[in-house]
Amino acid sequence: MARGIQVGDQAPDFTLPTQSGDSFRLQDRLGERVVVLYFYPKDNTSGCTAEACAFRDRFEVFTEAGADVIGVSSDSVGKHAGFASKYELPFTLLSDQGGRVRKSYGVPGVLGVIPGRVTYVIDRNGVVRHVFSSMTNIDAHVNDALRVVKELQAEQPA
């Protein structure tokens, strides 16, 4: 098993469909914005809904700090569209059916069946600056990511 993507690694580029069916390519987002890429197990489960809503509730703060929030799970485009609509999620959800991107990042599974919950903060150069993995500590995913985004914003030349 390959080690997962770690701090200092170049983030693997990928293209996946969004909840609206558009194509999203990571490389196209970098340069201008920091990307908070969070992998989560499944739409409409209690932990994933809590995490999505926590990112939603802080979305404006992430945006003002120069970051895009992107959620990734293996759910279909249609499921993502319903999930985003139901909880008024203002950010992009990507459909990684088959888990190809999850595997390329080395996101661990739990008991070999439940996809893991890992958040990556990727700077404008495509370098991973923060990795946080926890199935249960939802708030830390959001709070730690926001802290790192603000640190990266402070590094930017005015």
Domain residue limits, the chain: 16-155
With H, G, I as helix, E, B as strand and everything else as coil, classify residue 89. coil
| Confidence at residue 158, expressed as pLDDT on a 0 to 100 scale | 57
Query: What is the C-alpha separation between 42 and 39, in angstroms, rounded?
Result: 9
Helices (H) and strands (E) in the chain — how many of each? 6, 9
Over the stretch 28-54, which tens digit does the pLDDT of each residue have?
999 889 999 999 999 999 999 999 999
Torsion of CA 124, 29, 48, 118, to 10 degrees: -40
Contact 4, 36 (CB under 8 A): no
For residue 127, pLDDT beyond 70: yes
Q: Specify which residues 18 forms β-bridges with.
A: 94
Active site residues: 48
For residue 1, pLDDT beyond 50: no
For residue 146, pLDDT beyond 80: yes
For the ranges 8-17, 68-77, 84-93, 133-142, which has the lowest average pLDDT?
133-142
Residue 41 region by backbone torsions, left for phi larger than 0, else alpha for psi between -120 and 50, else beta = alpha
What's domain 16-155's architecture?
3-Layer(aba) Sandwich (3.40)
Burial of 69 per CB tally in 10 Å (0-12, 13-18, 19+): buried
Q: Which long-range contacts (CB under 8 A, 24 or more apart) does 108-111 make?
A: 108/4, 108/133, 110/135
